[in-house]
A = this chain, B = another copy of it.
Amino acid sequence: MDSTSPVIYVVEPYGGSIRRHNPALPLIFWDDAAVTRGDGVFETLLIRDGHPANLRRHMERFQASARLLDLREPSADDWIDATRQAVEEWTARTGEDAKCVWTYTRGRESTGIPSAWITLSPINERVLRQRESGVSVMTSPRGFTIDTSLPGVDEATEGGSPEPAPWLTVGAKTLNYAANMAALRHARSRGFDDVIYIDPGTGRVLEGATSTVIAVRKERKLRTPVPGGEVLPGTTQAALFEYAERQGWRCRAKDMTVERLLDAESVWLVSSVRVATRVTAIDGHPLPAPANEAEVRELINAALGAE
Could you tell me which A residues sit within 8 Å of B by CB distance?
Answer: 6, 8, 21, 23, 25-40, 42, 69-70, 101, 103, 106, 117, 119, 121, 140-147, 150, 153, 164-170, 174-183, 185-186, 195, 200
Contact = CB atoms under 8 A, between A and B. Distances in A.
A6 B110 CA distance: 11
9 contacts: A26-B27, A37-B177, A37-B178, A38-B175, A143-B153, A144-B170, A145-B145, A167-B195, A174-B178
B27 A200 contact: no
B143 A35 contact: no
Contacts of A37: 38, 175-178, 180-181
Contacts of A69: 178, 182
B103 A147 contact: no
A32 B42 CA distance: 14
Given A26-B26, A30-B119, A38-B177, 17 more contacts: A26-B28, A28-B32, A31-B119, A35-B103, A37-B38, A38-B178, A39-B177, A70-B185, A143-B165, A144-B144, A144-B146, A144-B168, A165-B182, A167-B179, A167-B183, A168-B179, A168-B182
A178 B174 CA distance: 8
Contacts of A144: 144-147, 168, 170
Nearest to A5: B110
A30 B117 contact: yes
Nearest to A4: B110
Contacts of A117: 30
A298 to B, nearest CB: 31
Contacts of A38: 37-38, 174-178
Nearest to A146: B144
A18 B53 CA distance: 44
